Amino acid sequence: MAQDVMVSMRYKSTSVIVLAIVFLMALVTVPAHACTTVIVGREATANGSVIVGHNEDNAGRRVMTQYVMPRMTYKPGDVIILKNGGTVPHVPVTWSFLWSQTPGDSAADFFVNEWGVMITSNNCAPTKEDDYDTLVARGDITDGGIGYHLRRIVAQRAETAREGLELAIELISTYGYVDDGRSYQIADSREAWFLHVVRGKHYVAQRVPDDTAVVIPNAYIIRQVDLEDTENFRACPDLVEYAIERGWYDPSCGEPFDFAKAYGSVRDDEPQDLKYDPRQWSGQRLLTGKAPDDVPLPFAARPQEKVTVADVMALLRDHYEGTYHDMSADYMISPHWANDPSICMNKTQESFVVELREDTSDLLKAVYWRATGRPCASPYIPWYIGIASVPDGYGWMDPNFGYTLRFEPHASLYDHDPSHAWWVFKDLQSAVDGQYGDVIGQVQREWRAFEERIHLEQPALEQMIHRFEATDEEYAGEFITRYTDSLAREATSIARELTDALLTAELLVEQKTVHLSGSGSISVALLGSEALDVSEISHHDVAIGPAECSPYTWAPAFNGKLVDVNGDGHEDLVMEFSIPALAKLVEIPCYMDIWLRGSTMFCDPIVARMLIEFRP
């Protein structure tokens, strides 16, 4: 017989803790940020390579897929059609490249081509520049301007980072840039550049000194510019004059021209107490071994020791642990929601470290160490530039078809599909996040052992590849493709096992389809078992929602009762959740993973998952 769940004093004490955490999360949540990049010059790395690390951070429900794009040939008269209608003439041959795509996001894709030239970017908006229509009317944006295709064209055509920089500059100067503000990072085995772009035709670029490392969050970091030093700086011809004309810089102030100060702007809703972005501060702290005290922070820092790939991975996993910027209370709250922004954050969709090498074979000149989702809970898997195809489960579309989704992806692309590695690792990070302090150590020990084994195997593996390549280059390529695929399959299998072990409860949901325009409620049964006494759980401590949304916005249970719904002799907690409260969290109607979080009266976390089809 069903009975109402009574909220006793012991439940109230748990609720007080939960409410306090929710209140703290609400206080520390700040406006959206996205992406952190670190570049280490070749004289500052342990093996003489240029190393680029990047966290791709984008809010909302996303999906990423990867491709190997082969070389392509084009006929005279073939053109690239830009988003706003302009055209760029094709070259006869475009290079092959590895491509990580976020369909529908024109500013998130990553490329590294067969020559070992890579390009990624960070949003640096807002700036002081005028809006798109004003610049079109003024002639500073022509033929609709360029945005998405800038990085793709660099990957298709550049054989060196400097050539990629010049290509990007030519495109900006010809068409004008469409977005508010962005920094592109272009690198090869010899050098790396930061290219800061403002909407229109104004830009500045600075080379990374070979013996330093540079960390960029979502802000311009190029300040003083030596326009006569063309080996280390590039800029539009009227960079300073335009700033003077617009009133952004006054030469009589006695201070040197500062690009970031002149062209950049600060979000009105950002806290003003810090004079730096804590991600740049923490990145420099980890590299140099001491907290930087200069304000503004320097463009580059000299690492205290030679930097390894593993060092950059550790930096990209940082949540400010051990510093006053860490608001997670020793992981009592997930750092992804307590520290916003942190280097590894709630919006991190992909993390990678690219090792760009000189004096090695074409198959090995770039290693793309890739982690799906947040790197603190995922492993970095090495993808060599010489692979013929991406690992199983990472790419499920032809790259030419994927290209058609760059601006308008279809809703079914966001369906939860356990055959795709994307959702396997997303499930794991969601299972971890609801009980972060309790389980992250277990997960990281698993991935640490996995990664350390790969690093130990790497020298012998690459010697073997060199031997194969000397006699049969095709076989060497096939071998390295199989090797990469085997590591990816192994990691995916481990991730599935970890997720199954970390889910603390099972759910029974009879309503498999929810209409976003509907009213009423959805009934969810939290199943009791020998291991879980649901009478120790108050529905007041339970909420459901998509993992991509902050848990303090999730739909709370508004009632609950104990009843044995599946006839196994154990009481189950049947709860009701408002459909409108849940629907407002659903960004895209699709087959979605919805997560339940709660706690027992002993503060043991409850984490479970259900799959629901959402329709308009």
Residues 358 and 301 in one domain: yes
Mean pLDDT, range 162-166, rounded to an integer: 98
Residue that terminates a domain, selected from 478, 496, 514: 496
Looking at residue 183, its pLDDT comes to 97
Mean pLDDT, range 317-328, rounded to an integer: 96
Average pLDDT, the chain: 93
Enclosing domain of residue 523: 3-27+503-615
Residue bearing the bigger pLDDT, 1 or 408: 408
Residues 383 and 508 in one domain: no
Residues 479 and 348 in one domain: yes
What is the Cα–Cα distance from 376 to 341, expressed in whole angstroms?
A: 15
pLDDT tens digits, residue range 378-405? 999 999 999 999 999 999 999 999 999 9
* DSSP tag of 447: H
The number of distinct structural domains making up the chain is 2
Residue 14 has pLDDT above 60, yes or no: no
Note every long-range contact of 326-333, with CB atoms under 8 Å and residues 24 or more positions apart, other chains counting: 327/24, 327/28, 328/436, 329/24, 330/437, 331/436, 331/437, 331/440, 332/21, 332/437, 333/21, 333/24, 333/25, 333/436
Residues 23 and 39 in one domain: no
What is the Cα–Cα distance from 148 to 491, expressed in whole angstroms?
A: 32
Residues 392 and 466 in one domain: yes
Helix H, strand E, coil C: the string for 16-84 is HHHHHHHHHHHHHCCCCCCCEEEEECHHHECCCCEEEEEEEECCCCCCCEEEEECCEECCCCCEEECCC
Mean pLDDT, range 147-163, rounded to an integer: 98
Looking at residue 322, its pLDDT comes to 95
CATH number of the domain that residue 528 is part of: 2.60.40.10
* % of the chain residues with pLDDT over 90: 91
Mean pLDDT, range 425-438, rounded to an integer: 97
Looking at residue 4, its pLDDT comes to 35
Residue that terminates a domain, selected from 496, 531, 560: 496
Residues 519 and 537 in one domain: yes
pLDDT band at 125 (very low <50, low <70, confident <90, very high): confident
Looking at residue 271, its pLDDT comes to 52
Looking at residue 3, its pLDDT comes to 37
pLDDT tens digits, residue range 555-583? 999 999 999 999 999 999 999 999 999 99
What is the Cα–Cα distance from 609 to 159, expressed in whole angstroms?
A: 47
Residue that terminates a domain, selected from 443, 463, 496: 496
* % of the chain residues with pLDDT over 70: 93
What is the Cα–Cα distance from 207 to 423, expressed in whole angstroms?
A: 38
Beta-sheet pairing, 605-615 with 555-563: unpaired
pLDDT band at 267 (very low <50, low <70, confident <90, very high): low
Looking at residue 339, its pLDDT comes to 86
Mean pLDDT, range 124-152, rounded to an integer: 97
Residues 543 and 473 in one domain: no
CA angle centred on 478, ends 473 and 481, rounded to 5°: 125
Residue 57 has pLDDT above 50, yes or no: yes
Residues 388 and 427 in one domain: yes
Residues 568 and 488 in one domain: no
Looking at residue 275, its pLDDT comes to 80
pLDDT tens digits, residue range 173-223? 999 999 999 999 999 999 999 999 999 999 999 999 999 999 999 999 999
Residues 452 and 533 in one domain: no
Residues 38 and 20 in one domain: no
CA angle centred on 333, ends 331 and 335, rounded to 5°: 70
Residues 554 and 476 in one domain: no
CATH number of the domain that residue 278 is part of: 3.60.60.10
Looking at residue 273, its pLDDT comes to 60
Residue 272 has pLDDT above 60, yes or no: no
